[in-house]
């Protein structure tokens, strides 16, 4: 071990004030301000505009309200403010499946005495497994659930329908034991009706109020009162995710206003600078945020969109402010005046950027509502849940595809609900269904007029709906095939291809392009402004996956 000598120096910095105060020594006063001025001149800081920052903003607005909605050509209904517009327009009744019937039956029998529950079970029994049709017997979920629940609980859907039909009394089909307290049983029946309506809502197979089966989309009319006082009618169509945002509303009709304009209340607000990731710091001597590398942005001269974003971020990013103006959802807002006071005491009256008349590409506007080919003077704050929606599993999926070989359009039920309300693969249903007719043992070849396709492939044939305009629609048809030894017509089992309001189902030809289209049914959940929870089943339309081949052939012989 070798020891090396070392010399350690200690330096100590101590203030040496010439007076009793330490403030002059801590001030770090600049003795050469001309040097700072010259450096600012070299960096071009004196070339900026002599503009002041906004101190506060005075906003004068008038407000209107959306007050009603209607599906198609129906009569307008008052808009319920307790629910989002998506729930009102897109909600469809709950499918009356076996699982719902069992759950309703259990809820009813838990409130009834054992003897009365047995009477309801005898009046509204679940079907035994032996009574199922061959098609129902191929549903393994239904068979499994019936083996457990048949005879142990009543059919809650049938009991609910009978209770609602017999109100204010009790169903006549139920034979109650002697000495039963009819008043108590009536209270249980009334509670059961209210609980089922609150928990499940309507039960049935009807289409949603705003669903257009021929267009495979939602469409409805919304009425309201403009900030100026006149009545308005909007054409509302939800976006890709089923939400009603500001761009979903187009004004289609209005009534002239009568009387003077209502006064515009004035509110003073503090503007907030916009801050975003990678934005240059507004103070010259501060360090920049290194989370975004602007030197790594590779923008070509022809890439105008990227160049505009870079220019906005680097040059004009610090010049934008946000005014936190709040308003109730479901309202129409018209800005009567926007006055800005800066830190120098000056006032600037800000007008609408699209106030000057311009046509085509020369017109610039944002967040504006279309009104009879022009722009409205108000902004729409729709009563929608927007993106605060949680999507559940897909209960039904139908793919509309074109088959050029067969010269047909097919609606493929990729996923449908089984008898218990759970999603079931269409391929699985087609595999479980027997195909073909029994052939004689002596036949060496069998002639077939046409080959069979899976039961989840539903054909749509072109039909003429307007001879003058040569308009063509696609009508749902049915293929004949042998099932369980009988020649039957194959029909769809899902709700998308079985609209209840139409005698024959027609889809506009332009709705099914070369790439096809898809319609999805699923459950959705959201929270409203009052904290309430809303659960509903709605339909969504998505892009298709291209053409497909069904394998349909005519005049073939098979060994």
**What's the pLDDT tens digit per position in 194-203?**
999 988 989 9
How many CB atoms are located within 10 Å of the residue 232 CB?
25
What does the pLDDT read at residue 424?
93
For residue range 470-498, list pLDDT tens digits in order. 888 999 998 777 766 677 788 899 999 99
**What's the average model confidence in pLDDT over 87-94?**
90
What does the pLDDT read at residue 52?
81
What is the number of alpha carbons within 13 Å of residue 298 lying toward its C-beta?
0
- Cα separation, 57 vs 342, in Å, equals 9
What does the pLDDT read at residue 45?
72
What does the pLDDT read at residue 444?
74
What does the pLDDT read at residue 438?
53
Banded model confidence at residue 319, pLDDT cuts 50, 70, 90: confident
What does the pLDDT read at residue 489?
81
Helix-, strand-, coil-residue percentages of the chain, each rounded to 5: 25, 30, 50
- Cβ-Cβ contacts under 8 Å for 203 (sequence gap 6 or more): 93, 94, 95, 96, 100, 157, 160, 196
**What's the average model confidence in pLDDT over 67-77?**
81
Give exposure, 5-30, as e/b (b: 16+ Cβ within 10 Å).
Answer: eeeeeeeeeeeeeeeeeeeeeeeeee
Burial of 66 (0-12, 13-18, 19+ CB in 10 A): buried
pLDDT higher than 90, residue 279? no
Percent share of the chain, pLDDT over 90? 33
pLDDT higher than 70, residue 330? yes
What does the pLDDT read at residue 501?
76
Global pTM value: 0.78
- Cα separation, 454 vs 414, in Å, equals 11
Q: Tell me what the pLDDT averaged over the chain comes to.
A: 85
What does the pLDDT read at residue 508?
92
pLDDT, greater one: 141 or 47:
141
Record the tokens describing residue 104, joined without a space: 């309703």
For residue range 169-225, list pLDDT tens digits in order. 888 888 888 888 899 999 999 999 999 998 898 999 999 988 999 999 998 899 988
What does the pLDDT read at residue 301?
77
- Cα separation, 448 vs 559, in Å, equals 11
Percent share of the chain, pLDDT over 70? 91
- Cα separation, 370 vs 223, in Å, equals 15
Banded model confidence at residue 167, pLDDT cuts 50, 70, 90: confident
Burial of 218 (0-12, 13-18, 19+ CB in 10 A): buried
Q: DSSP string of 325-370? A: ----TTEEEEEEEEEEEETTS-EEE---TT-S---GGG---SS--E
Banded model confidence at residue 556, pLDDT cuts 50, 70, 90: confident
423 contacts 416 by C-beta, under 8 angstroms:
yes
For residue range 226-251, list pLDDT tens digits in order. 888 888 899 998 888 888 888 889 88
What does the pLDDT read at residue 291?
72
Burial of 528 (0-12, 13-18, 19+ CB in 10 A): middle
Torsion, CA 352, CA 356, CA 361, CA 366, rounded to 10: 10
What does the pLDDT read at residue 285?
61
- Cα separation, 99 vs 148, in Å, equals 12
**What's the average model confidence in pLDDT over 4-11?**
70
CA distances from 295 to 287, 300, 314, 463, 516 (A): 16, 14, 12, 60, 43
What does the pLDDT read at residue 443?
61
Torsion, CA 43, CA 48, CA 54, CA 59, rounded to 10: -140
What does the pLDDT read at residue 126?
94
**What's the average model confidence in pLDDT over 543-553?**
86
What does the pLDDT read at residue 17?
65
What does the pLDDT read at residue 396?
96
- Cα separation, 493 vs 432, in Å, equals 15
Place of tokens 């499994």: 144
pLDDT higher than 80, residue 141? yes
pLDDT higher than 90, residue 516? yes
Least confident segment among 20-24, 47-51, 116-120, 151-155: 47-51
**What's the average model confidence in pLDDT over 134-161?**
92
**What's the average model confidence in pLDDT over 321-347?**
89
- Cβ-Cβ contacts under 8 Å for 23 (sequence gap 6 or more): none
Residue 155 phi/psi, 5-degree rounding, is -80, 105
Which three-class secondary structure string do you get for 423-444? EEEHHHHHHHCCCCCCCCCCCC
**What's the average model confidence in pLDDT over 395-408?**
92
pLDDT, greater one: 9 or 142:
142
pLDDT higher than 80, residue 119? yes
Q: What angle do CA 349, 352, 354 make, to 5 degrees?
A: 150
pLDDT, greater one: 411 or 373:
411
Record the tokens describing residue 181, joined without a space: 């307290």
- Cα separation, 550 vs 411, in Å, equals 11
For residue range 419-463, list pLDDT tens digits in order. 999 999 998 888 887 765 555 555 677 777 777 888 899 999 999
What does the pLDDT read at residue 264?
87
**What's the average model confidence in pLDDT over 30-44?**
78
């Amino acid at each position: 071990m070798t020891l090396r000598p070392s010399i350690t120096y200690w330096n100590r910095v101590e203030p040496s004030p010439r007076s009793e105060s330490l403030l002059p020594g801590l001030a770090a006063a600049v003795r050469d301000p001309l040097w700072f001025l010259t450096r600012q001149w070299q960096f071009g800081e004196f070339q900026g505009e002599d503009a002041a920052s906004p101190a506060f903003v005075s906003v004068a607005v008038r407000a209107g309200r959306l007050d009603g909605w209607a599906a198609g050509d129906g009569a307008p209904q008052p808009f319920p403010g307790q629910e989002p517009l998506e729930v009102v327009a897109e909600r469809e009744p709950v499918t009356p499946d076996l699982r719902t019937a069992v759950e309703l039956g259990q809820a009813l029998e838990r409130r009834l005495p054992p003897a009365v529950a047995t009477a309801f079970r005898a009046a509204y029994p679940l079907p035994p497994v032996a009574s199922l049709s061959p098609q129902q017997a191929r549903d393994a979920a239904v068979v499994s659930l019936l083996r457990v629940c048949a005879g142990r609980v009543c059919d809650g859907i049938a009991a609910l329908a009978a209770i609602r039909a017999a109100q204010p009394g009790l169903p006549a089909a139920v034979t109650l034991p002697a000495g039963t307290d009819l008043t108590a049983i009536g209270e249980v029946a009334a509670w059961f009706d209210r609980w089922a309506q609150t928990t499940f809502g309507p039960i049935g197979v009807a289409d949603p109020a705003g669903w257009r089966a021929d267009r495979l989309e939602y469409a409805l009319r919304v009425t309201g009162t403009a900030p100026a006082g006149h009545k308005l009618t909007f054409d509302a169509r939800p976006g890709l995710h089923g939400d009603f945002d500001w761009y979903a509303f187009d004004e289609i009709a209005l009534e002239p206003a009568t009387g003077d304009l209502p006064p515009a209340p004035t509110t003073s607000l503090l503007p907030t600078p916009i801050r975003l990731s990678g934005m240059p710091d507004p103070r010259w001597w501060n360090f920049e945020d290194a989370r975004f590398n602007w030197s790594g942005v590779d923008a070509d001269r022809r890439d105008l969109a990227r160049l505009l974003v870079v220019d906005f971020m680097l040059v004009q990013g610090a010049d934008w402010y946000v005014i936190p103006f709040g308003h109730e959802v479901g309202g129409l807002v018209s800005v009567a005046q926007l006055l800005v006071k800066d830190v120098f005491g000056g006032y600037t009256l800000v007008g609408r950027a699209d106030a000057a008349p311009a046509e085509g590409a020369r017109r610039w506007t944002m967040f504006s509502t279309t009104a009879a080919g022009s722009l409205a003077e108000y902004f729409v704050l729709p009563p929608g849940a927007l993106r605060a929606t949680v999507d559940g599993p897909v209960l039904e999926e139908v793919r509309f595809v074109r088959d050029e070989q067969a010269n047909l359009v097919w609606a493929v039920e990729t996923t449908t609900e089984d008898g218990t309300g759970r999603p079931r693969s269409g391929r699985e249903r087609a595999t479980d269904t027997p195909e073909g007719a029994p052939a004689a043992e002596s036949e060496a070849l069998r002639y077939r007029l046409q080959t069979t396709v899976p039961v989840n492939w539903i054909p749509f044939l072109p039909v003429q709906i307007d001879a003058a305009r040569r308009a063509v629609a696609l009508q749902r048809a049915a293929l004949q095939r042998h099932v369980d030894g009988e020649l039957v017509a194959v029909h769809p089992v899902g709700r998308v291809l079985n609209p209840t309001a139409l005698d024959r189902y027609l889809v506009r030809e332009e709705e099914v392009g070369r790439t096809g289209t898809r319609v999805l049914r699923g459950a959705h959940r959201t929270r409203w402004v009052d904290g309430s929870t809303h659960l509903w089943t709605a339909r969504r339309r998505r892009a298709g996956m291209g053409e497909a081949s069904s394998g349909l052939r005519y005049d073939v012989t098979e060994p």
